Amino acid sequence: MHHRDNSNFGYGNRTWKHGVLALMLAWLVTGCASVGKGLIPVAPTLEVTGSQLTGISGQAVEVTLTILVKNPNGFELNNMGIALAVEANQTPLFSLDDRHLLQAIPANGQTHIAVPLTFPLSSIMQLVPNLLQNNQLEYSVSGHLFVPVPVLGQVKVPIKTQGALPIPKVPKFKIETIAIESLSLSHLALSVELVVENPNTFGLQSLSGEYEMVVNQASAGKVSVTTGRIPAGQSGRVGLTLSVSPLLIGMSVIQAQQWEMAVKGQSEWLPDLPGATPFIDTMNMVLEWPPGGITP
């Protein structure tokens, strides 16, 4: 009968286990040291670094969000996408879904992504009826950046930010004075002074203006004039001198105690804001003048 010598078997078994454990520890240490260097992929991180007003008009306000995306991996990340939802006063305004962003994030690097947002004022005013009562619109943005990462698949990196943007308002016109400069059988000259109020929290620059005076449905002429710059919350003045032939209006109208008058016009304004574009405002004011009758 042969007896098997197992005196070293326990020692050999323990040595084998210790070897495997050492290999596992070495792999873990190497793996931890290699996270983000290409061996073990990790998700990118992002930060919203800015919100810049890039355009404003009577129809829309444009804002560009700047998002800094960092790639801790040893390989480039591309084929990204983004989905955002924009709200104001807990009311959804619009959404953005672009799954084909052109930017790529270099290995162990970072890149800035510019995300343009357009706030259409007409549709927003339907959702937020009291919008014009405010000088600005406070909004919030939430969503995700979609980044395909090897092994991990498509990673959703959350995006969340908030901001405020100015609400452009059209200038307010009112007739300050109307006076007859001269009146004869062949010539009627009128002088009109308009007050233009800027209700905005930013200045307005008058680029052009064309105004027409209508007396009892007969045109008293047109004139082009600008008001210059009107600071925020202040008023400017526009002086108009218009003339018309009394024969065109009719002497019976000239001799009437009151005239039905209208001042019509169209003006172009440029807001004193970065990225602003001009917008056009129209006016049509009808009145009877003068209240006490005419004394030529």
Over residues 103-116, the pLDDT tens digits come to 889 999 999 999 99
Average model confidence (pLDDT) across the chain:
79
Peptide bond before 290: cis, by omega within 30 degrees of 0? yes
| Residue 10 in domain | no
Radius of gyration of the chain (CA): 36
Query: Does residue 152 lie within any of the structural domains?
Result: yes
What is the model's pLDDT at position 9?
Answer: 45
All residues at 6 or more sequence positions from 141 whose CB lies less than 8 Å from its CB, including other chains: 65, 84, 85, 86, 117, 159, 160, 161, 162, 163
Is residue 128 located within the same domain as residue 201? Answer: no
Q: Quick one: pLDDT band at residue 48, thresholds 50, 70, 90?
A: very high
Whether residues 274 and 216 share a domain: the answer is yes
- Residues 159 and 245 reside in one and the same domain: no
Asked if 162 and 176 sit in the same domain, the reply is: no
Task: Give a yes or no: residue 26 inside a domain.
Answer: no
Domain boundary among 150, 166, 182: 166
218 and 111 co-located in one domain:
no
The CA-based dihedral angle spanning residues 51, 72, 96, 131, taken in that order and rounded to the nearest 10 degrees: -30
Residue 155 has pLDDT above 50, yes or no: yes
Q: Are 156 and 184 in a shared domain?
A: no
CB 110 within 8 A of CB 69: yes
Domain boundary among 148, 166, 184: 166
Question: What percent of the chain clears pLDDT 70, i.e. is strictly above it?
Answer: 79
User: Is the residue at 202 inside a domain?
Assistant: yes
Res 295 pLDDT > 50: no
pTM of the model: 0.65
Q: How many structural domains compose the chain? A: 2
CATH of the domain at 67: 2.60.40.10
Higher pLDDT, 153 or 223: 153
Integer Cα distance of 224 and 113 in angstroms: 45
pLDDT for residue 209 is more than 70: yes
Do 119 and 203 lie in one domain? The reply is: no
- Summarize pLDDT for 62-71 with one digit per residue, the tens: 899 999 999 9
Task: Judge contact between 38 and 73, C-beta under 8 A.
Answer: yes
Model confidence at 95, pLDDT cuts 50, 70, 90, reads: very high
Same domain assignment for residues 153 and 229? no
Same domain as 101, residue 67: yes
- The answer on 177 and 284 residing in a single domain is yes
> What range does the domain containing 278 cover?
172-289
**Burial of 188: CB neighbours in 10 Å, binned 0-12, 13-18, 19+:** buried
pLDDT above 70 (res 188): yes
Per-residue confidence band for 252, with pLDDT thresholds at 50, 70 and 90: low
What confidence score (pLDDT) does residue 147 get?
92
Question: Rounded CA gap, 83 and 87, in Å?
Answer: 14
Residues 64 and 156 in one domain: yes
3-state secondary structure of 210: strand
